[in-house]
Amino acid sequence: MLCLCGILAGCGKREKAENIYRLYAGKVKGYDLWIVDGYKVRQKVYKEFLYGGNEQRYLFVPRGEIWIDHAISCEEYEMTLVHELNERHLMAKFGWSYERSHDSSLAIELVLRQKYEQICKGHEAGIKKVSPTDHTNKKEISFLPDSIRIESIYRIPMGHREGCSVWIVDGYRVRKNIFPDFGFSGNDLSCHFIPSHEIWIDGQVSCEETEYAIREELQIRRLMNAGMEYSDAYETAVTDNHRLRELMTKRIRSHAALAIPDPPERDSGIADPAEP
């Protein structure tokens, strides 16, 4: 007979998995948010792991942690985070089943997607025409006029950093309709087609790389504002990001190896009296 109390106490652990964690993304509503290697989770821990996970649904997720699969795009990141937080809350607060909590979280996702669509449409409607050139005044699509309107580019607002608004954009459309050499990110000083005080992140960037991309663009922008040429600012920002990656690697190595329980999941929440 399966001993639930024994599982919760850890007596059902059969082995451990290493090299699961990839990026610590800070605290959100009191939980440690980790980007994890979804491939390795599926390979070593739970073959049906997708998008994200929380401790109420998955017994292998340590208490106080929320997991996000590193393979998902930055465009899906916030939806996944909101989903996992809500799912965990409903299972812990009310003892809801996973299926009921999951469906509730999908409904919240839909509301958010519709909300962001309206925000992006409104933002685009208020933008004046821009130049389809980079900081060297290079135009890569010769038949474009000298000033164009931005259409169907914005996807999700990501808030404000250092006086700039950060947006997830449709990188494919940017490269197709504005500037073919647009990389995974850009800012208003390096790309004239990006409106003033904005940073763009390509929606295809993985959630694991998003923070690095934002920090890189902010650093480039700071240095260009101080008079540095773009090429030098870029090299400096890339070097600084490399240091951040090394620090993250050290932090991950200090995290305990993941204990794998048997079974790895549960279908109903365990109500927690401390849950607000």
Per-domain boundaries in the chain: 14-114, 127-247
Task: Please list the residues that pair with 199 across neighbouring strands.
Answer: 166, 187
Which pLDDT value is given to residue 14? 53
Tens-digit pLDDT profile for residues 207-217: 999 999 999 99
Which pLDDT value is given to residue 3? 34
Say which residue, 118 or 269, is predicted with more confidence.
118
Sheet holding 154-161, edge to edge: 154-161, 164-169, 198-202, 185-187
Three-state DSSP state, 208: helix
Of 7-11, 162-166, 196-200, the range with the lowest mean pLDDT is 7-11
Asked if pLDDT for residue 149 goes beyond 60, the answer is yes
Say which residue, 212 or 12, is predicted with more confidence.
212
Q: What average pLDDT does the segment 6-25 reach?
A: 67
pLDDT band at 275 (very low <50, low <70, confident <90, very high): confident
Q: Mean pLDDT, the chain, as a whole number? A: 93
Which pLDDT value is given to residue 1? 28
Residue 206 Cα to chain centre, angstroms: 7
Asked if pLDDT for residue 2 goes beyond 70, the answer is no
Tens-digit pLDDT profile for residues 63-110: 999 999 999 999 999 999 999 999 999 999 999 999 999 999 999 999
Say which residue, 7 or 266, is predicted with more confidence.
266
Report yes or no: 158 and 167 within 8 Å, Cβ to Cβ: yes
Structure tokens at 50: 């997708």
DSSP, residue by residue, the chain: ---HHHHHHTTT--EEE-S-EEEEEEEETTEEEEEE-HHHHHHHT-TT--SEEETTTBTTSPTTEEEEETTSBHHHHHHHHHHHHHHHHHHHHH--BHHHHHHHHHHHHHHHHHHHHHHHHHHHHTPPPB-SBBTT--BSSTTS-SSB---S-EEEEEEEETTEEEEEE-HHHHHHHT-TT--SEEETTTBTTSPTTEEEEETTSBHHHHHHHHHHHHHHHHHHHTT--HHHHHHHHHHHHHHHHHHHHHHHHTSPPEEE-SS-B-SB----TT--
pTM over 0.75: yes
pLDDT band at 115 (very low <50, low <70, confident <90, very high): very high
Q: How many helices (H) and strands (E) does the chain have?
A: 7, 10
Report the candidate in 152, 153, 147, 151 with the shortest Cα–Cα distance to residue 130: 147
pLDDT band at 9 (very low <50, low <70, confident <90, very high): very low
Of 16-25, 152-161, 186-195, the range with the lowest mean pLDDT is 16-25
Structure tokens at 129: 């025409």
Orientation of helix 74-94 relative to helix 207-225, angle to 10°: 130
Tens-digit pLDDT profile for residues 208-264: 999 999 999 999 999 999 999 999 999 999 999 999 999 999 999 999 888 899 899
